[in-house]
Amino acid sequence: MSHSITKICKNFISELDEAIGEQSAESIFVLTDENTRKHCLPVALRSEKLKGCHLICIPSGDENKNIDTAVVIWKYLSENGATRKSLMINLGGGMVTDIGGFTASTFKRGIRYVNVSTTLLGAVDAATGGKTGINFQGLKNEIGVFSPAETVLINIDFFKTLDAENLRSGYAEMVKHALIDTPESWERVLKFDLENVDFEELKQLLEENIHIKERVVEQDPYEANIRKALNLGHTFGHAFESWSYKIQRPALHGYAVIWGLLCELYLSLIKLDFPKDELLRLKYLIKEYYGTFEFSCKEYEALFELMTHDKKNESKEINFTLLAAVGDIRINQTATKDEIFECFDFFREG
């Protein structure tokens, strides 16, 4: 699998022009959702290369990252003369880059695409690494392909349009990357002030974070081995996220992931002796910035059932990535139902 070129932009328009120019496309399709059409599209359309491009706008929100929306995109491409020499530009957060990458990669067996990340979560998580996908039957990213963007452009200025919750949602994935990297990365991420965001400092942290992810993806593009490290927090996290939509109290992806991280570090403590003081530092960070996810013990079975459907499972057992210490990754770990329920207990104790 080839790799995307990821750039944190110094001059967004000239770098966008350059990325489009390198593709010499017959026609260009720009995918946005309602939010990015309003906040980000006017900026992108300053590019000379986007004169006369086709615009596709889909409803925002992860609940719209589904097959019906994919059909709308494919239909638009088909009816507006898209060919294998067309180029798609996905201008948005993770939801847009996931579904945009998926529809581009499957239309006419694949057209090239460029991701322009407009959210911190999209930049640190969905836009790089070549995973694309849609949700299906209430399960996150159940249908998808590995297919990297030609280029990923990250414009930090777009992050200034985000509210505090969406910035924190993106930051959660940075916390995860630091935990699988080194104690030094973990310290830097813990020190960052999420109350008063310094965007220059955030830019440096983001560069480090993207390098962490790229190093892992290069070693294992198709998630046969070490790339599973990037799933830390996601087995519990995806269950929380899917359940939050079921009960109509939708949680942002990053919030679900950081709550999942807390459960999986507790599981790491009981199974691999992960240091308790590091677990408590994460617990404090969550209390400070993320609050909690309310559920009762009556819902344990439903959450457990969602975890059994996680696509990372390779057999009947639920597959986890755990840590023996910060940076000491243990992939392909399993846990009993009792151990998983003990994690739910720990989480609810607050």
Sign of the torsion angle spanned by Cα atoms 174, 177, 181, 187 = positive
Q: Which helix (H) or strand (E) holds 331?
A: strand 328-333
Phi and psi (nearest 5°) for 319? -95, 130
- pLDDT in 10s for each residue of the chain, 350 residues: 566 789 999 999 999 999 999 888 999 999 999 999 999 999 999 999 999 999 999 999 999 999 999 999 999 999 999 999 999 999 999 999 999 999 999 999 999 999 999 999 999 986 678 899 999 998 888 999 999 999 999 999 999 989 999 999 999 999 999 999 999 999 999 999 999 999 999 999 999 999 999 899 889 888 889 999 999 999 999 999 999 999 999 999 999 999 999 999 999 999 999 999 999 999 999 999 999 999 999 999 999 999 998 766 766 789 999 999 999 999 999 999 999 999 999 999 97
Question: Does 185 lie in the same domain as 145?
Answer: no
Question: Does 241 lie in the same domain as 324?
Answer: yes
Question: Does 343 lie in the same domain as 215?
Answer: yes
How does pLDDT run across 97-123, given as a tens digit for each residue?
Answer: 999 999 999 999 999 999 999 999 999
- Which amino acid, residue 313? N
Measured distance CA(48)–CA(13) in Å, rounded: 9
Question: Does 129 lie in the same domain as 198?
Answer: no
Name the domain boundary from 159, 181, 196. 159
Name the domain boundary from 107, 135, 159. 159
Domain at 240, CATH number: 1.20.1090.10
How does pLDDT run across 45-98, given as a tens digit for each residue?
Answer: 999 999 999 999 999 999 999 999 999 999 999 999 999 999 999 999 999 999
Question: Does 227 lie in the same domain as 119?
Answer: no
Measured distance CA(256)–CA(166) in Å, rounded: 12
Question: Does 297 lie in the same domain as 236?
Answer: yes
Q: What is the DSSP string of 125-152?
A: IISSSSB--EEETTEEEEE--B---SEE
Question: Does 226 lie in the same domain as 327?
Answer: yes
Phi and psi (nearest 5°) for 282? -65, -40
Domain at 15, CATH number: 3.40.50.1970
Within 10 angstroms of residue 61's Cβ, the number of other Cβ atoms is 13
Side-chain-facing half-sphere of 268: CA atoms under 13 Å: 31
Q: Which helix (H) or strand (E) holds 328?
A: strand 328-333
55 Cβ contact partners less than 8 Å away, ≥ 6 residues apart: 29, 30, 32, 37, 41
Domain residues for the domain of 221 are: 164-349
Q: Provide the number of structural domains found in the chain.
A: 2
Question: Does 112 lie in the same domain as 236?
Answer: no
Question: Does 61 lie in the same domain as 151?
Answer: yes
Closest C-alpha among 149, 116, 131, 153 to residue 30? 116
Question: Does 169 lie in the same domain as 150?
Answer: no
Q: Which helix (H) or strand (E) holds 19?
A: helix 12-21
Largest CA distance in the chain: 59
Question: Does 192 lie in the same domain as 128?
Answer: no
- Which amino acid, residue 172? A
Q: CA separation (Å) from 233 to 30, 64, 201, 205? A: 32, 23, 25, 20
Question: Does 132 lie in the same domain as 9?
Answer: yes
Measured distance CA(287)–CA(293) in Å, rounded: 11
Name the domain boundary from 129, 159, 189. 159
- Which amino acid, residue 341? F
Closest C-alpha among 66, 68, 127 to residue 93? 127
Planar angle of CA 37, 171, 90, nearest 5 degrees: 30
Measured distance CA(297)–CA(262) in Å, rounded: 18
Strand ranges across the sheet with 87-92: 5-8, 151-154, 112-117, 87-92, 28-33, 54-58
